[in-house]
Structure 1
């Protein structure tokens, strides 16, 4: 790599590091009053300045909720929602490009193990994975932007999906910020806006489940006797989503089960990619984590997914064979 290739990347890297350091040193000064005072002196260019600050803040790992709430307080529920959504999309897109431009080739040449499985899983799902991490507020927004830049996801698919999937959250946080400011100024009607925003945030958390219900994709249950029969006849794939300690613990595990803990499942989907057109049975201690894992597999294109009713607790109560610490048990686990 020659100087002409290295120099632009070095300058960009220095700029990103400088932005992160500046954000860390000035985090305490970035409050609503400071933003309001600064933007008030900019006149008609204040919205553009806010967009730029939001984008830089996203790159520098500043909390997105800070800007989302501030946007509602400073610009109102409508313009604030628009500015927050555009600012978040610009920031997410720039972070994506920075990661791809600065580190994409290096990562591609050196990835292995867990990171490689994550990248392969993301690339296999494409925009579906992007939509999932935007809709489900469990993934760190700023870090996810950079992580997705290390994959080969199409840039415009990433941008468009992010713009659409981030809209509900942007609107909810903006209206919450607007309601907070109005309530502080004595506007009683602001309580209604706050409740609406909280309701929208709750709806976002339930959105994946609501979509599945609208599409008629409820997961199916399977009992221990039926699963035992299938294991003898049909050659199904059993995925145990408990942690490794539980997998080898007192309840044991089904002999042919693959142990893919729920927290690691999104990045390890490639390990069961060959089972997309086969019957997949999800197992955990009871059946709560298994039911949650159905969302990931359904969104990943698995067509035939069932949950063992009652999980390993019921499997043991029914006296089915288990393995514990690599020692096979063929009788009831008592």
Structure 2
């Protein structure tokens, strides 16, 4: 296998930004309990749900007041323009794997106030309890 050296340089430049010092100063993960507290305190933030339509239909429905843009459509210019630049964005998927990749890309694009919901919507439902979770639907 021959490496694409130009692509490798670009990838290296991207990931060199994620130093331990930078990640410690500006962690990219929020816990379910933090999100519930932010909702109760009416803090200005947006939940960005990047799950597929099938995931929403069969696994867990959308939360209230959520911006829904599936991951495969998010990086179109018209969809990026829908993201607020002046508020925190919490990205969620089913667990948190895809959300992590999306947060890395969004931060590189200048959305520095972007965070992953740890364990995704699945973890949210498990960790905060059914009653509170139902209030969010």
TM-score with structure 2 length normalisation?
0.76
1:144-194 deviation digits (Å, cap 9, x = unpaired): xxxxxxxxxxxxxxxxxxxxxx9624xxxxxxxxxxxxxxxxxxxxxxxxx
**Larger RCO: Structure 1 or Structure 2 (Cα < 8 Å, ≥ 6 residues apart)?**
2
The aligned residue for residue 135 of structure 1 is none
The change in CA–CA distance for 1:241 and 1:219 in structure 2 (over 3 A counts) is farther
**Residue pair 2:28, 2:103 contacting (<8 A) in 1 also:** no
Asked whether 1:213 is paired with 2:24, we answer no
The aligned residue for residue 311 of structure 1 is 120
Task: Indicate the RMSD between aligned Cα atoms, in angstroms.
Answer: 2.9
Please give the alpha-carbon distance, in whole angstroms, between the structure 1 residues aligned to 2:58 and 2:67.
Answer: 15
Q: How many equivalent residue pairs?
A: 128
Paired residues for 1:1-334 under 5 Å: 168-169=6-7, 201=8, 205=11, 207-213=13-19, 216=22, 219-232=27-40, 233-267=42-76, 268-272=79-83, 275-318=84-127, 319=129, 321-322=132-133, 329-330=134-135
The change in CA–CA distance for 1:314 and 1:206 in structure 2 (over 3 A counts) is farther
Please give the alpha-carbon distance, in whole angstroms, between the structure 2 residues aligned to 1:248 and 1:230.
Answer: 26
Higher alpha-carbon Rg: 1
Please give the alpha-carbon distance, in whole angstroms, between the structure 1 residues aligned to 2:21 and 2:107.
Answer: 11
The change in CA–CA distance for 1:306 and 1:204 in structure 2 (over 3 A counts) is same
Unaligned residue ranges in structure 2 (runs of 5+): none
**Greater percentage in helix:** 1
**Greater percentage in strand:** 2
Please give the alpha-carbon distance, in whole angstroms, between the structure 2 residues aligned to 1:207 and 1:219.
Answer: 20
Please give the alpha-carbon distance, in whole angstroms, between the structure 2 residues aligned to 1:222 and 1:211.
Answer: 20
TM-score with structure 1 length normalisation?
0.34
